Amino acid sequence: ETGVTQTPRHLVMGMTNKKSLKCEQHLGHNAMYWYKQSAKKPLELMFVYSLEERVENNSVPSRFSPECPNSSHLFLHLHTLQPEDSALYLCASSQAATSVDEQYFGPGTRLTVT
Amino acid sequence: ILNVEQSPQSLHVQEGDSTNFTCSFPSSNFYALHWYRWETAKSPEALFVMTLNGDEKKKGRISATLNTKEGYSYLYIKGSQPEDSATYLCASLFSGGYNKLIFGAGTRLAVHP
């Protein structure tokens, strides 16, 4: 139990659907992150939020839309995805977005786009 | 392009064996090196964060070293146990701006009883 939860754990969606992934951290951290892991590829950073403000967008297509309503919650809104977007999506948090502190990860959402 | 390389890709050892694997990263603009352990169906869990050249850290039977001048880190496991079976990820943080960890592809370790 890392203190970071993600829902749902598994999601199957069609290319025309709209869905959202949710992440919640109970650690009092000020930074939150979305990562993507595609098959046989390293974990890849998508977005960084610091104190609810997006501070890094790692060239992610606009069909992925993050939202951070407060420092404990992070969402990833998905719309008109492509089959190649099927992947494991991990959320993480850390004390601050500029420190060297370790990141605490959630268990991930396994997304399949059909 | 910043690239973090890990070797080997996978490793099978017998219970009781000691083992080690390597993480290589660009040495310029280096800021920190993270090691994570990721068991199947669980969350990645931090093992170590190292920042200084020559750093050595230890947690039980697992230890790590860091060479920032030549751009590599070693992770050692002494007397491997089946519960050590996991994927071990390293990630490098480069200076400037907000945290942007660059991950390697991981070393998948299987410890056989």
Task: Say if residues B103 and B4 touch (Cβ distance below 8 Å).
Answer: yes
Q: Is B28 on the interface with A (CB under 8 A)?
A: no
Greater model confidence, B23 or B98: B23
Contacts of B43 in chain A (CB under 8 A): 2, 4, 90, 104-108
Residue with tokens 């754990």: A9
Flag if A2 and B45 touch (Cβ within 8 Å).
yes
- Rounded to an integer, the average pLDDT of B18-32 is 94
Residue B2 has pLDDT above 80, yes or no: no
**pLDDT score, position B99:** 78
- So what's the pLDDT on residue A105? 97
CA distance B51 to B74: 14
Q: Do A43 and B89 touch (CB under 8 A)?
A: yes
Instruction: Say yes or no for a CB contact (<8 Å) between B91 and A43.
Output: yes
Residues 6 or more apart from A49 whose CB is under 8 A from it? Answer: A31, A32, A33, A55, A66, A68, A74, A97
Looking at beta carbons, which residues of chain A come within 8 Å of B4?
Answer: 42
Q: How far is A82 from chain B (nearest CA, A)?
A: 24
CA distance B20 to chain A (A): 20
Using a CB–CB cutoff of 8 Å, tell me whether B103 touches chain A: yes
- Looking at residues A30-49, what average pLDDT do you find? 94
Total residue count of chain B as it appears in this document: 113
- Judged against a pLDDT cut of 90, whether residue B25 lies above it is answered with yes
Which residues on B lie below 8 Å from A44 (Cβ)?
A: 103
Cβ atoms B80, B15 nearer than 8 A? yes
Q: Average pLDDT over chain A, rounded to whole? A: 94
